[in-house]
Structure 1
C-alpha cells in the first residue's frame, strides 16, 4: 500500500496520470480500468489522445514538456502542420505542379515574338547562331539558346557636345570655331553591331568627332560660319564617318550630320562681331559700287549702240538723216524753254503760252486765247525773220 496511489495508480516516477496539482486524473475501479478523473475536463481515460500520453485538453506540467510536445507536433505555433489538398485518388499535386512549371519555362524560353522594327540575335552557349527577323520564332530553351532583340529601324541621334559645353576646332586659316552638331544613324547589320565592337555607341561619337575635325581643317573660318560652307562640311563629315565605320565593320549606317551652331570662341566673340560688321559694311559698299558701274556701263553701251544705228542710217541717206536729226534736236531743246509765237505779216495778238501752261498745271481755268494783250508793233521784214527762226 505504501507504493500505491490512493486514487488507484502506482507511486512510481511516472506522473503522466496526475492532474495539474499532482492529483491523478483517473480513479480505481473494480474491473481494473482507469475511469476519467472527474476533476478534469473530458479526456481519453487511456491517455492515448496525445503523443505524450496526456489526456486531451490537458496542458503540459512544465516548460520542457511544452517544447517537447511542440517538437512532436512539427514545431508549429499551434494548430499542427498544414495539410495541402490532394489530387483525385489521394495523390499529391506536387508532380503536376513541377510539370506545369517545366512546360511554362519551355514555352517562355523557346517562343519569341520579334516586333516590326526589331531584329533578334540567337546565341548558342554564348556563340552567334542566327538573326531573327520580325515575327514569331522558336528556339531551344534557355540556357541552351538565348535571344536578344534590338531596334534596328529607328534613327538614333547623338548631340555633340552634350549640353552647353564648348567644342573648339581649328580651321584651315588657323582660326578657332566653336561647333555643335547632330549625328543621325541607325543599325544596318545587327550581328556586326553586337559582336564586332566593344562599345559601338561610343565608337560612333568618337568617329564623328574625328571626321568633323578633319573636315573643318580643310575650310576657312568664313566658310565654316556661312550656310554654303556648312553644307559642304556636313557632306564631308558624313562621307568620312561612313568610310571609317565600314572599315571597322561596325554595322552602322550614318543617315546625316547637321551643324547646329558655328560661332567664334566665347572670349573673342565681341571683337569678332565688330570685325564681321565692318566686313559686311565693306561688302555692301562694294556691291553698290558694282551696281552703279554696271548701270553706267549699260547706259553707255546703249548710247553707243544707238549711235551706231544712226550712223548706219546716215550712210544710206545723209541728207534725210541730217534733217531728221536737226528736227529732233530742236524739238528736244525748245520743249524746255519759254516760247512766243508771232505771225510774220502784220500785228497779231500776244499768245502767252507759258502762262497758260502754268495755270493749267496749277488747276486754274485756261484764259481765253483771244484775250487782247499788249500789241507787238510790226518790225518789218527783219523782225519777222528773227522771230521766224525761234518759232515752232
Structure 2
C-alpha cells in the first residue's frame, strides 16, 4: 500500500521516510529504547500474529486470513504432542520411561501419559513371556567321576526390575547361560555321583535354582528363575556301556528289594494267622482236657459214693465193665467148662470178619523183644541167640 493512501496511519509529515524516527533536534533523540518497551512490542507482535490484536481497515482482514495457516499448524503440533505422549500398556507389558535419555519410572498396564517426543521415550517390555535355556556340559563330581549333565532353565523378566533388565547388563540371555553353567559345575563338584543320579535329584534342582537366582540378583539382571531341571545325567560316550551296566544293576537291586518286601508283607500276616490258629487250638484243647478231667473227677466222686453204699455190688459191676471193655475187640472165646458136654456152635467166619484190622507198622519195643500185631520178635541187638516166636491170631 502506498504510504500516502487513505487509511494509512502514517500519512502526512509523519509518513516521510524519516517520520518515525525521533528528531535529532529533540533532546535525547539518540537514546536506545527501554527494555519494557521492547518486551511490550514483542507481546503485541505475538498477539497480532495469533489474531488477538485489533486493527482497522481492509488491511486488518487480509492479515487475519494470512494467520489462519499458522493457527492450524500450531493446533496440529499440539495434537501431535498429545498423541506422542499417550501410551497404551498391555497387561503383560511394562513401560520403561526415559526422560532425556535417563531412566525416570516404570509404567503399569493401562493408558499412561508422559512427556512428548523427543523429550521422553517409552520402552515396552513383555514380562509374562517364559524364556527357556537348554544347556549341557561335562562336569567333575566330588568322587572324581566325569559326567555329562543336560539341564533346562526357564526364566522371565521381573516386573519390579524391568529397568535392570534393560540397562544393568549388556546381554541378559548370555549372562543367564554363563551363570547357570557355573552353578551346575559348583553343585556337581560338591556332590557324589550317586547323590546326583539317584533319588536326590530333586534336592539338587532346588539348590541349583536358588543359587542361580542369587547370582543373577547380585548382577542386577532383573531376571526371575521359574524352574531349573536336570533332564539327564550320563557319562561320556567312551564309558557309557559300563555306566549303563551299573545303572541297570542298581535298578535290579531296587527290584529285588521291592520283591523281598512284597514277600515279607505276604508271609508275615500268614505266619501271624497260623500262630493265632495254633494258640486258639491250644486254648480249645486246654479247655477240653480240663472239662474231661473235671468230668472224670465228678464221675469218680459219684462212683465212690455208690461204692460206700454197696461195695460188693459196685466192685462186681466195675469188674464186668472192665472185662467188657477189654474183651470187646478180641477174637477169643471163653467157654465155661462147667456147662457140660453140650456141643456149642461158634460162628468163626463172623468172628474173623468182625476182628479189627491192625497196622503192621505199629510195634512196641520191650527191650529184649519187639512185639508186633501177630508177631513176637526178639530184639537181636540185646540177645542175638534169642529165637523168633510167631503167635497166630487166636493163639493162647
Give the TM-score of the pair, scaled to structure 1.
0.51
Alignment partner for residue 241 of structure 2, among 248, 266, 270? 270
Structure 1 residues 383, 168: closer, same or farther in 2, change over 3 A? farther
Task: Indicate conservation of the 8 Å contact 1:156/1:185, yes or no.
Answer: yes
Instruction: Note if 1:136 corresponds to 2:118.
Output: no
Q: Secondary structure of 2:285's match? A: helix
SS at match of 2:125: strand
SS in structure 2 opposite 1:149?
A: strand
8 Å CA contact 1:121–1:131 kept in 2: the answer is yes
SS in 2 for 1:167: strand
Shift of residue 379 of structure 1? 5.1
Q: How many Å apart are 1:168 and its aligned residue?
A: 1.5
Q: Which residue does 1:4 correspond to in 2?
A: none
**Structure-to-structure mapping, 1:153-172, within 5 angstroms:** 153-159=128-134, 161=135, 166-172=136-142
* Alignment correspondent of 2:276: 305
- The one-character-per-residue Cα deviations of 1:130-157 (angstroms, maximum 9, x if unpaired) are 1111222222233322211111122222
1:289 deviates by: 4.6
Q: Is the 8 A contact 1:124 1:145 kept in 2?
A: yes
Cα drift, residue 118 of structure 1? 0.8
Could you say which structure has the larger radius of gyration? 2
The reply on whether 1:212 has 2:187 as its aligned counterpart is no
1:124 counterpart residue number: 99
1:260 to 193, 208, 231: 231
* 1: CA distance, partners of 2:97 / 2:269: 76
SS in 2 for 1:210: helix
Measured against aligned partners, the alpha-carbon deviations of 1:286-311 in whole angstroms (never above 9, x if no partner) come to: 54455445545544433233222222
Q: Spell out the pairing of 1:2-21 with structure 2 (5 A cutoff).
A: none
Pair 257,315 (structure 1): closer, same or farther in 2 beyond 3 Å: same
Q: Partner residue of 1:174? A: 144
Counting only pairs closer than 5 Å after superposition, residues 229-308 of structure 1 correspond to structure 2 as 229-292=200-263, 295-308=266-279
How many residues are aligned here? 245
**1:124 and 1:271 mapped to 2: Cα distance?**
63
Deviation of 1:92 (Å): 11
Pairing partner for 2:153 from 170, 176, 183: 183
1:355 equivalent in structure 2: none
Indicate if the aligned counterparts of 1:314 and 1:321 stay in contact, CA closer than 8 A: no
Aligned-partner SS, 1:209: helix
C-alpha change, 1:201 and 1:100, in structure 2 (3 Å) is: farther
- Aligned-residue Cα RMSD (Å) equals 3.9
Structure-to-structure mapping, 1:189-228, within 5 angstroms: 189=160, 190-226=162-198, 228=199
Distance 2:350 2:290 in 1: 33
2:383 corresponding residue in structure 1 = none
| Aligned partner of residue 233 in structure 1, secondary structure | helix
Structure 1 CA distance, aligned partners of 2:282 and 2:95?
87
Per-residue deviation, 1:98:
6.7
- Structure 1: where are the runs of 5+ without partners? 1-87, 323-343, 345-376
In the alignment, structure 2 segments of 5+ residues that lack a partner are: 1-62, 294-328, 330-346, 360-396
Using the TM superposition, give the Cα deviation of residue 276 of structure 1 relative to its aligned residue in structure 2, in angstroms: 2.5
Mapped contact 1:109–1:142 kept (Cα < 8 A) = yes
Query: Contact 1:313–1:321 at 8 Å: present in 2 too?
Result: no
Please, which moves more after superposition, 117-126 or 195-204?
195-204
Cα distance in 2 for partners of 1:294, 1:321 equals 41
Per residue, is there more helix in 1 or in 2?
A: 2
The Cα shift of 1:202 comes to 2.4
How much does 1:273 deviate?
Answer: 1.7
Distance 1:383 1:207 in 2: 104
User: Take 2:230 and 2:184, find their aligned partners in 1: how far apart are those partners?
Assistant: 10
TM-score (normalizing by structure 2): 0.51
Task: Return the alpha-carbon distance in structure 2 between the equivalents of residues 152 and 130 of structure 1.
Answer: 16
2: distance between equivalents of 1:95 and 1:276? 85
Say whether residues 1:113 and 2:88 are aligned partners. yes
TM-superposed CA distance for 1:254, in Å, is 1.5
Q: Secondary structure at the match of 1:235?
A: helix
C-alpha distance in 2, partners of 1:121/1:89? 45
